[in-house]
C-alpha cells in the first residue's frame, strides 16, 4: 500500500494533469508423486461468453508472454492438480502474462493466469502449484459466481478497463485495478488457501509451499516499500480486501502441519528452475527500460535520468518516480504534437491546471525545442517541461511541497538530461532475464549476487529471488540470478 505522503504526491500529479494507469496483485498457493506429469494438459473451453472477459484481462496485464517451456510445464502441473481437486474433469489452462507485477487469478472457465513477476518470485514447482491450486480453489468453490451475485462480472471488467485505459503504473492505481478484479472476501481467501494446500498435498507436492510463497510475497512488498523510501507500516499485502500476509502465512502453516511435517511432499525445484531459465525479468524494454535512475526507450529513441534518490516505475505510456519517501514525485509521458501549434501554445492550451504564466520560458534541451514553466495546486509546487522530439511532445512534471533553489536545479538538470539514445544506451536497454548459476566450491550468496546486473541491493534481491534467509547455498545446486 502506498505510504500517505507518496500517495498524496502522486494524487496531486493526477489532479494536475490527465494521467494514466496499470495493474497489481493476488497470490498464493499425499499420495506419492508420480515420476512425471502427463505430457500435455487439456485446453480450457474457448468461444464461451467468458472468452471476451479473458481477452480483456490479458490486455489489462500487457498481453500474453510467450515462454513455451514454462507454459508446457505449468500445464502439466495443472493436470496433477486437477486430478487431485474436487472437480477432476474440469479442464484448466495457464496463460503467462507479460507483467513484472506479482499476480495470479482465475476465471470460472478454468483459465488460470500468472504473471512473469509471480513466476520469478516462486522458487520451485510446489510454490507455483500452490498459487495455481489456490486459483483452482476459487473456481471449485464457485467464489466468482458468489461474488457475481453482488457485482456482475461484466461490471468488474468494465470498471477495471476504464481505469487501465490510461495505464499509469502507480501502486495506487494498481491496487484499485487488482481490487476490482479480485474482490474476493477475506473468508474466501482463507478458504481458497485451505483448499489449495490440500489439493497440492493430494497431488504429491509440498504442502508448506503456500506459506513459503506468501512469505516471499511479504518480503517483496516490504523491499519495494523500502526502495521507494518508506517502511511499509501497514500490512505488507497489497490488496486491502485480502487478509494480511502474516495472517495467511500462519493459517497456511497450520493447514500444512495437519497434513504432515516439512519434507513430506515433492518440491521439484530443478524442474521448475529449468522451465523459467532465460525468461524475461522486470519491465518489458519494448515499453522502455529502467536502469538505476535512467530511463531508456530504444524503440522511441530517447533517454533521460531522474534526479538523485528517485525510484522509477514504468508502463507502456508513462513513467512515474518518487523520492524522499513520497515528498517528491515525477511524471513523464508523451503526446502527439498538435499540427501547427507551437510548444508554448501547447503548454498553455489548458491540459495542465495551476500554470503560472509568468514562469514560462523557452529553451533548448540537447538541441531540441523545449518550454519550461511552474504550476501550483494547494500546498504542492510543480516544475513542468515539454520537449519536442520526432513528432511527439514529451512532458516531464515534478511535484514537491517546497520549490527551493536546490530542488528546482535538480529538476532542471533532469529535464536537461533528455537526449537521443546512444549506441551504448541501446545495449544497456536490452531485456533482463533470469539465468541459473550453479553454486561451486567457495560460493556464497554474496558471490552469486555479484553476478546480478541489478544495482539496487543485489544481495537482498538475490536472497528474495531464491527464498534464502541468510547464506544457505548448497554446492552443486542452481540459483536464480538476473543477467542480460
Tens digits of residue pLDDT in 187-210: 788 889 999 999 999 999 999 999
pLDDT in tens, 441-475: 999 999 999 999 988 889 999 999 999 987 789 99
Q: How far apart are CA 298 and CA 296, in angstroms?
A: 6
Describe the strand order of the beta sheet including 111-115 as a list of residue ranges: 93-97, 111-115, 104-106
Lowest-confidence region among 59-73, 225-239, 287-301: 225-239
User: Across residues 158-178, what is the average pLDDT?
Assistant: 46
- Could you tell me the pLDDT band of residue 10, with boundaries at 50, 70 and 90? low
Of 104, 103, 106, residue with least CA distance to 92: 106
Mean pLDDT of 411-419: 97
Distance (Å, whole) CA 259 – CA 246? 20
pLDDT at residue 310 in the model? 92
Of 23-32, 187-196, 217-226, 364-373, which has the strongest mean pLDDT? 364-373
pLDDT digits (tens, 9 = 90+) for 314-350: 866 689 898 887 889 999 999 999 988 999 999 999 8
Give pLDDT, residue 181: 45
Inter-axis angle of helices 153-164 and 51-60, nearest 10: 30
Predicted local distance difference test score (pLDDT) of residue 17: 52
Q: Is the pLDDT of residue 171 over 70?
A: no
Strand partners, 76: none
Whole-number pLDDT of residue 109: 85
Lowest mean pLDDT among 269-278, 452-461, 473-482: 452-461
Looking at residue 129, its pLDDT comes to 98
Local confidence band at 22 (pLDDT 50, 70, 90 cut-offs): very low
pLDDT score at 25: 20
Range with the lowest mean pLDDT among 105-109, 263-267, 298-302, 444-448? 105-109
Give the CA distances from residue 372 to residues 107, 333, 424, in Å, rounded to whole numbers and listed in that order.
48, 15, 29
Report pLDDT for 165. 45
Please tell me the predicted confidence (pLDDT) of residue 49: 57
pLDDT class of 34 with cuts at 50, 70, 90? very low
pLDDT average, residue stretch 422-435: 94
Query: If you average pLDDT over each of 5-9, 50-54, 142-146, 241-245, which comes out highest?
Result: 50-54
Same fold? 285-427, 431-483: no
Answer for the pair 455, 445: CB distance below 8 angstroms, yes or no. no
Domain boundaries, the chain: 4-281, 285-427, 431-483
Res 229: pLDDT: 52
CATH code 2.40.110.10 for 285-427: no
pLDDT on residue 174 = 47
**What is the CATH code of the structural domain delimited by 431-483?**
3.10.350
Flag the least confident range among 35-44, 113-122, 310-319, 386-395. Answer: 35-44
Q: 479 or 53, which is more confident? A: 479
- Is the pTM higher than 0.85? The answer reads no
- The predicted structure's pLDDT at residue 57: 82
Residue 114 is given by DSSP the state: E
Q: Give the C-alpha separation, 398 to 412, whole Å.
A: 10
Give the pLDDT band of residue 213 (cuts 50, 70, 90): very high
User: For residues 122 and 275, is the Cβ–Cβ distance under 8 A?
Assistant: no
What is the torsional sign of CA 12, 15, 17, 19? Answer: positive
Q: Which residues are registered as beta bridge partners of 205?
A: 266
Q: What pLDDT score does 243 carry?
A: 57
pLDDT of amino acid 145: 47
pLDDT: which is higher, 101 or 208: 208
Backbone angles phi, psi at 287, to 5 degrees: -105, 15
pLDDT over threshold 60, residue 169: no
Amino acid at each position: 500500500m502506498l505510504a500517505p505522503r507518496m500517495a498524496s504526491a502522486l494524487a496531486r500529479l493526477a489532479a494536475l494533469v490527465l494521467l494514466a494507469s496499470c495493474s497489481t496483485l493476488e497470490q498464493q498457493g499425499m499420495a506419492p508423486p508420480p515420476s512425471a506429469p502427463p505430457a500435455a494438459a487439456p485446453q480450457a473451453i474457448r468461444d464461451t461468453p467468458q472468452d471476451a472477459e479473458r481477452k480483456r484481462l490479458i490486455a489489462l496485464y500487457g498481453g500474453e508472454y510467450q515462454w513455451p517451456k514454462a507454459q508446457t510445464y505449468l500445464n502439466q502441473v495443472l493436470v496433477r492438480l486437477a486430478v487431485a481437486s474436487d472437480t477432476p474433469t474440469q479442464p484448466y489452462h495457464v496463460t503467462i502474462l507479460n507483467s513484472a507485477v506479482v499476480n495470479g487469478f482465475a476465471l470460472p472457465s478454468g483459465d488460470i493466469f500468472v504473471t512473469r513477476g509471480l513466476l520469478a518470485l516462486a522458487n520451485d514447482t510446489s510454490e507455483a502449484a500452490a498459487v495455481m491450486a489456490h486459483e483452482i480453489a476459487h473456481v471449485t468453490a464457485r467464489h466468482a459466481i458468489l461474488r457475481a451475485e453482488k457485482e456482475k462480472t461484466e461490471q468488474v471488467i468494465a470498471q477495471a478497463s476504464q481505469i487501465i485505459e490510461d495505464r499509469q503504473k502507480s501502486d495506487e492505481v494498481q491496487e484499485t485495478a487488482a481490487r476490482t478484479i479480485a474482490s474476493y472476501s477475506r473468508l474466501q481467501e482463507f478458504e481458497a488457501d485451505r483448499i489449495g494446500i490440500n489439493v497440492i498435498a493430494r497431488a504429491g507436492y509440498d504442502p508448506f509451499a503456500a506459506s513459503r510463497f506468501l512469505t516471499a510475497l511479504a518480503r517483496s512488498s516490504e523491499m519495494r516499500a523500502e526502495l521507494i523510501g518508506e517502511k511499509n507500516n501497514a500490512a505488507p499485502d497489497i490488496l486491502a480486501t485480502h487478509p494480511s500476509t502474516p495472517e495467511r502465512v500462519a493459517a497456511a502453516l497450520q493447514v500444512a502441519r495437519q497434513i504432515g511435517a516439512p519434507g513430506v511432499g515433492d518440491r521439484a525445484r530443478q524442474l521448475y528452475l529449468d522451465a523459467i531459465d532465460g525468461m524475461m525479468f522486470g519491465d518489458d524494454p519494448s515499453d522502455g527500460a529502467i536502469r538505476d535512475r535512467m530511463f531508456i526507450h530504444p524503440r522511441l529513441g530517447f533517454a533521460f535520468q531522474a534526479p538523485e534518490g528517485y525510484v522509477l516505475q514504468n508502463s507502456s505510456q508513462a513513467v512515474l518516480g518518487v523520492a524522499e519517501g513520497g515528498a517528491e514525485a515525477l511524471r513523464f509521458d508523451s503526446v502527439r504534437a498538435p499540427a501547427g501549434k507551437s510548444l508554448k501554445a501547447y503548454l498553455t492550451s489548458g491540459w495542465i491546471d495551476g500554470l503560472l504564466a509568468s514562469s514560462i520560458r523557452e529553451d533548448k534541451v540537447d538541441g531540441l525545442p523545449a518550454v519550461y514553466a511552474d504550476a501550483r495546486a494547494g500546498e504542492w509546487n510543480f516544475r513542468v517541461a515539454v520537449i519536442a522530439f520526432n513528432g511527439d511532445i514529451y512532458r516531464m512534471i515534478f511535484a514537491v511541497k517546497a520549490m527551493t533553489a536546490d530542488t528546482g536545479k535538480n529538476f532542471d538538470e533532469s529535464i536537461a538530461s533528455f537526449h537521443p539514445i546512444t549506441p551504448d544506451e541501446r545495449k544497456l536497454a536490452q531485456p533482463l532475464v533470469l539465468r541459473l548459476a550453479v553454486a561451486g566450491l567457495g560460493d556464497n550468496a554474496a558471490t552469486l549476487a555479484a553476478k546480478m546486473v541489478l544495482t539496487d541491493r543485489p544481495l537482498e534481491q538475490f536472497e528474495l529471488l531464491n527464498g534464502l534467509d541468510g547464506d544457505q547455498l548448497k554446492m552443486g545446486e542452481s540459483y536464480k540470478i538476473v543477467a542480460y
